[in-house]
Structure 1
Amino acid sequence: MASRGDELLAKAEKKAKSSTGWFSSSSSKWEDAGDLFQQAGNAYKVDGRWTESGKAFEREAECRLQASEKNDAMNAFHNAAKSYKKTDPAAAVNALHSTIKLIIEAGNFRQAADREKEIATIYAQDGYDIAKARDSFQRAGDWYKQEDANATANQCYQQAAELSADLGDYQRSVELYTTVADWSLTSPLTKYSVKEYWLRAVLAAMATGDLVLAQRLLDTFAQKDVTFPSTREAKFAKEIVDSCEEADVERYTAAVYQYDQVTKLDNWKTSVLLRIKKALEEDDSGLT
């Protein structure tokens, strides 16, 4: 027995393939077919048939475009993506790309940023595609910044910075954390978090094996905020740099242990610090 979704889908397909009569326009045909595909998509959602739901919404979007209803097509593609997310991440991303294309044509970059952030989240989930997740977070951040949504842009840049380090692209991680910190300095509500971003930037620089860059960052950050050198984060970063300059593994290990006793290291810092320590322990570490 055919489900309600199957019945509506059959009606929608029949309508879409029908010829235009004497007293009806091509536009009305596509509008009617689009309505039926939308109903089919919703019916499939009720039944938990997510892939069929996504396909029905995509067919709706095609009909909306035939009827020159671009706003409705945007919504249909987005509904398709939301259904596909349950079962088919790649199809969800494709539907979101179709949504973004229409949104950009309409000049709504804030909404485009929202959809790009969705793409980034899909790629990041369960490590589906970390590189594409990083790039999408950064692209979303750029669009948010363009629309003066700076706080949301910063959140995206933070995600991109963290994922850059996961990918071993520590140079980009340094650049992104510095960008995040620079904006955070401008707001009393976010200024308190700057020392954390600066610490991460220095650690990422250390992970590239560039002690000169790490020291230059510490000097630059101290000029931007004269209170920074007195913070636990700055003192820890300085101790890490100094112990690496002296190739003193014991001093390095003690510094990490002591910091962790007061401020528990998160997974990101732990991973980066282990990389730095491994390089420090090797004769050809590249830390110069």
Structure 2
Amino acid sequence: MSTSPEKLIQQAQEKSKPVTGFFWKIISSPEDQYEEAIDLYIQAAKIYRLGSGSSKQDYSKAAFCYIQAADVCLDLLQNFNEAAVNFIEGYKLYKMDQEFSSAIEALKKGIECFTVKMGQFRRAANYQFELGEVLELQLQDYKEAAKVYKMAGDWYLQDNALQLSNKCYLKYADLLSLQSKGNQDLFDAIKTYQTLIENNLAKNTNTWSLKDYYLKIGLLQLLLTDNVAAERTLNEAKQKLSDDKDCKEFQLLAKLIECYQEQDLDLMSQTLMQFDKFQKLDNWKTTILLKIKESMIGNDEDDLL
């Protein structure tokens, strides 16, 4: 058989045509023919993937072949597991070639096979998280990435994979609050952080991260101009985490609440500079703090009118 990937694809296309006519159905098994087509597509994919003879290494063409194989599995054989596996292979190869839109399309089809066709949500959750990462890191589609992470968290939680679901929900809350289009997004993010705290306290897991969750809630409440709620959060944090009541996170939140109450921008800047010397402010906190500062500047301007 020819090792030319183009010839293999041509043969696969012929083999993947639906068998018609009573005579041909007697002498030929449609399933065997479709399986041959899948094998031919995968052979062509491997040649493109590795490069062989006159064929240069080409991840995108290899990915295309896997997608074609997946379509035959899905549409002609109803073999959902094999279809999903081939869609995932196509996704990986498109991603290697930085064709992220095509990679996402292939990955979504694979996830659909796992969930809609087979009901394997736990298996799909791993790829759903990967989908969120591609949307977030490669396409900077933060709104869609947040939705994807939340769904992955739901699927993990259904399987009692608490640590993995927490990881997804944290990504969801972080992106939702950073890209908030209104107060409701901030309320939803706060609710998610609160759920993370409750889940971890109940299981006594990840207690080291709870200080950060409480700080994030307090900062979002200040962004919502509710310093009273932020004070309640701080008091609850000190009560629930009594061993850490004097931690730098709680000291920072207390000082920021004071700055907000006094509308003291200079004190706020000094407080953040002092904190940053000992514990670097991450991107999330820096972004939210800038928004809080902008709201305080806006309040100052309103007072002058």
TM-score, normalised via structure 2 length:
0.85
The reply to whether residue 95 of structure 1 matches residue 79 of structure 2 is no
When residues 209 and 43 of structure 1 are mapped into structure 2, their CA distance, relative to the original with a 3 A threshold, is farther
Residues of 2 paired with 1:146 and 1:175: CA distance? 19
Q: Which residue of 2 aligns with 1:52?
A: 61
The reply to whether residue 212 of structure 1 matches residue 228 of structure 2 is yes
Equivalent pair of 2:46/2:62 in contact (CA under 8 Å)? yes
C-alpha displacement of 1:19: 4.0
Equivalent pair of 1:51/1:87 in contact (CA under 8 Å)? no
Equivalent residue runs for 1:18-29 within 5 Å: 19=19, 21=24, 22-29=26-33
Equivalent pair of 2:265/2:296 in contact (CA under 8 Å)? yes
Q: Which residue of 1 aligns with 2:17?
A: 17
Q: Which residue of 2 aligns with 1:200?
A: 216
C-alpha displacement of 1:180: 2.3
2:91 to 72, 81, 84: 81
Q: Which residue of 1 aligns with 2:247?
A: 231
Equivalent residue runs for 1:57-206 within 5 Å: 57-65=66-74, 66-85=76-95, 86-104=97-115, 105-168=117-180, 169-206=185-222
Letter in 1 for 2:229: L
Equivalent position SS for 2:299: coil
Equivalent pair of 2:45/2:63 in contact (CA under 8 Å)? yes
- Greater alpha carbon shift after TM alignment, 146-155 vs 174-183: 174-183
Residues of 2 paired with 1:34 and 1:83: CA distance? 17
Letter in 2 for 1:96: L
Residues of 2 paired with 1:247 and 1:211: CA distance? 11
Equivalent position SS for 1:209: coil
- Greater alpha carbon shift after TM alignment, 81-90 vs 14-23: 14-23
Letter in 1 for 2:70: A
C-alpha displacement of 1:159: 1.4
C-alpha displacement of 1:228: 4.3
Identical amino acids, percent of aligned pairs: 28
Residues of 1 paired with 2:223 and 2:168: CA distance? 22
Residues of 1 paired with 2:152 and 2:301: CA distance? 36
TM-score, normalised via structure 1 length:
0.90
User: Runs of at least 4 residues of structure 1 off by over 4 A?
Assistant: none
Equivalent pair of 1:74/1:103 in contact (CA under 8 Å)? yes
Q: Which residue of 2 aligns with 1:273?
A: 289
Letter in 2 for 1:53: A
C-alpha displacement of 1:140: 0.5
C-alpha displacement of 1:219: 3.0
Structure 2: any 5+ residue segments left out of the alignment? 52-56
Equivalent pair of 1:134/1:159 in contact (CA under 8 Å)? yes
Residues of 1 paired with 2:127 and 2:110: CA distance? 8
How many residues align structurally? 285
